Amino acid sequence: MVVLITGATGLIGTKICTELVKDGVEVRYFSRNPSSSVIPGAKGFQWNPNQFSFDKKAMDGVTHVINLAGATIAKRWSASYKKQILLSRLNSLKTLEMAIEESKSSSIRVLSASAIGVYKSDLNFTHDEHSTSYGEGFLTEVVQQWEAQAQRISDKGHALSLVRIGIVLDSDQGALPKLALPVRLGLGAPLGSGRQWQSWIHSEDLSCLFVYLLKNNLGPVVNAVAPHPVLQKELLREVANILKRPFFLPPIPDSVLKLFLGEMAAVVLESQKVRSELLVNSDFEFRFKQVRGALTQLLKR
């Protein structure tokens, strides 16, 4: 197995590389500046998705690809940054498609990151991999275009799995440090109604899942979420309990969140209750199935 990874220097990409190198897998990765983004045990190759350029030597003998490239959504969505969020995903996939064509291989297994933000926001409905109830707004539009671009690789005969990732919980990056900060300051409160569902996954489980999916083709769509989603107010209450901080302030209204966050408020106000039917029925073993265990491990470091 020879695995090429895009977005390898990010939170999940770094963890995946570490796991694969530990397992003796040959790991390569694309980077705009591989000389300054060294990943121990892996070999970097230069690319520039904005110019659709890449080092052709990277593809020699590649059997599997993991695509994680894309600008973070955890920044205020100005008009220019919204364009960057979308184009960073589309251009990376277009460049990756060109690289796969260059390899001349007739069959490469591709895992392409996606997001549960494609699903319709609903306080009651549960989405699984068969759900076609999609939402509206910027996030849904991005995911739909992102997945459509990835599908072009499948259309050329390569095995493709879209990995729709939930809220990634990590001690240093992603949503949790931002959610935990007001709680640490004694200002913890539900965001919006607090009744919106948060479908989450621990960062360690997510990296292990990608490694698992390299060897196990579960289908064209896999929801990367832990088995037990949680209400937003209960997630923050658990954070407060673990940090031994108060949690008694009234909910912060939607209007206030939208004033401070703009369109990005959708990230915390929308409700996606998502189940991974495929993972529940597989032999993949989650280390963190319940949010309390995940938060305890992350917040008590």
8 A C-beta contact, residue 96 and residue 67: yes
Average pLDDT over residues 84-96: 97
Which span out of 49-53, 75-79, 297-301 was modeled with the highest average pLDDT? 49-53
Side chain identity at 16, as an amino acid letter? I
Question: pLDDT digit string (tens) for 30-55?
Answer: 999 888 778 899 999 999 999 999 99
**97 part of a folded domain:** yes
CB atoms within 10 A of CB 300: 9
Question: Residue 212 corresponds to which tokens in the numbers above?
Answer: 């698992």
- Calculate ∠ Cα 238-248-180, nearest 5°: 45
SS3 content of the chain, % helix, strand, coil (to 5): 45, 20, 40
In this predicted model, what pLDDT tens digit does every residue of 98-139 receive, in sequence order?
A: 999 988 888 899 999 999 999 999 999 999 999 999 999 999
Task: Examine residue 181 and state whether it is found in any structural domain, yes or no.
Answer: no
Q: CA angle at residue 247 from 242 to 252, to 5 degrees?
A: 125
Does 89 map to a domain?
yes
Query: How many helices (H) does the chain have, and how many strands (E)?
Result: 10, 14
Domain presence at residue 52: yes
b/e per residue 150-169 (b: at least 16 CB within 10 A)? beebeeeebebbbbbbbbbb
pLDDT at res. 267: 85
The reply to whether 255 falls in a domain is no
Decide if pLDDT at 301 tops 70.
no
Domain that holds residue 104: 2-169+201-225
pLDDT tens, 195-226? 999 999 999 999 999 999 999 999 999 999 99
Question: What does the mean pLDDT of the chain come to?
Answer: 94
State the pTM of this model. Answer: 0.94
Q: What is the pLDDT of residue 231?
A: 97
Number of domains in the chain: 1
Residue 25: both structure tokens together: 């897998």
